[in-house]
Structure 1
């Protein structure tokens, strides 16, 4: 049994002062398990497990790798198509991910960031926001009666507090500032068509009948550069990666097998993997 699993003895004299990713933690039938193997397993764990104490993590990860090595030894060297192709895909993905990281890490100048910001926002129409209030009642008749009171000089805020069944009633019907898409369509359409200071005709929605007052409108301001800096940098990085891929594609020799020789349905024919 001791010959089956040969663990490296970790003693005070054997511990390296500064272990590296290649430092051997254990050996199973001659297959080495290194610090690097353990780090990669830890980083792949869900966050709740990564936050466990290192002592608990170390033992658990090492045991997992030992068990995996023992089970892998049962198979030994294999020409299993699924394993081989999976490893090829994983290797391709990891190398591509590394290339993306390296391209993303390249410095992006402030001039580029400022130019991208100006391109996006300098002449952009950000739309309009509306400041409105409403009184919500159950029937059209009640809405008409409220409009008559308002035309006779009644105060909108006081009527909303007294008659509105909506949650904004106690605050005088105030809805605050909102943009397009934030209100149900019939309500939004009525507001957009109104002049500042106007009172609407009764407006029907699924909530009931509304009497709306448009208090004010304003143009939506573009966000400050610092608010969208991260988003712009990410966009510039994506563009740089796409340009680099296009360059590589133009330089590469890519040959495609005519699709009629393969058929698009092969992608879902899992049974081909076992042939």
Structure 2
């Protein structure tokens, strides 16, 4: 790609690459703003302004200002410290076999829980629930019955409750839902909210995620643990070299 010169400030070229680098430093959601001509022009104006002020600062000995010198030393210290930390932590490694061993020992941590996808109709009385059940048994569409009769806000979606795992619903409702066969409409189920007719549309059993699915998670966890240990160990060793006084 041609690195076109976009501006020259006091002999210093500002190029297309400089502009692209400046854009890349913004958060991803902000970068889109600079992907049109107007946005790029505004950013170029800002870069030009910074170059102008930089030249002014050099020509007016602002590099000798005490605040600048303190900030410079603080920045140098932070950069040097972070570079040392990165170098130390770069020694940490996690192998494929270690990740596999961890997975085999801790596979129970990577379960997809058993879940149910269901619809329901909620009414106040057992008599009303039985009447609706009879209509459904005689051919009325469950979703239409939910829209027509249910008192739950889910009626607007034909009684759809989406998917849920154990522990998400009241015990009576959960027991009935997880025991139902797919496509079967339950007998009325009483809970603290009233009487429910439940229709299960899908079920998934407990499954364990594959090693391939969780590999990055395990690798990151092991690396974080080892980096923390490495950091603590290294700083403890340094306390034997450099005097520390806590007051």
TM-score bracket for the superposition, by shorter chain length: 0.5 to 0.7
**CA 1:71–1:147 in 2, change beyond 3 Å: closer, same or farther?**
same
Using CA pairs under 8 Å that are at least 6 residues apart, name the structure with larger relative contact order, 1 or 2: 2
Aligned length: 220
* Match of residue 127, structure 2, among 137, 140, 145: 145
- Which of the residues 116, 135, 147 maps onto 2:121? 135
- Structure 1 residue aligned with 2:217, among 223, 227, 231? 231
Listed as ranges, the gaps of 5+ residues in structure 1 are 9-24, 27-32, 259-275
Q: Deviations over 1:3-29 (max 9, x none)?
A: xx9833xxxxxxxxxxxxxxxx46xxx
Alignment partner, residue 174 of structure 2: 192
Which residue in 2 is equivalent to 1:213? 198
Corresponding residue number in structure 1 for 2:51: 66
Q: Does the aligned pair in 2 maintain the 1:190–1:200 contact within 8 Å?
A: no
**Change in 2 beyond 3 A, CA 1:6/1:212:** closer
Structure 1 or 2: more helix by fraction: 2
With the length of structure 1 as denominator, give the TM-score of the two structures: 0.56
For structure 2, list consecutive stretches of 5 or more residues without a partner in the other structure.
1-7, 181-185
Backbone CA RMSD of aligned residues: 4.8
Describe how 1:67-146 pairs up with structure 2 within 5 A. 67-73=52-58, 74=60, 75-80=62-67, 84-85=70-71, 87-89=73-75, 91-92=77-78, 95-96=81-82, 99-100=85-86, 103=89, 108-122=94-108, 127-137=113-123, 140-141=124-125, 144-146=126-128
Query: How far apart in 2 are the matches of 1:172 and 1:41?
Result: 51
The equivalent position to 1:47 in structure 2, one of 31, 45, 56, is: 31
Change (3 A) 1:219 1:105: farther
CA distance in 1, matches of 2:10, 2:159: 74
The 2-side partners of 1:101 and 1:164 are apart by 64
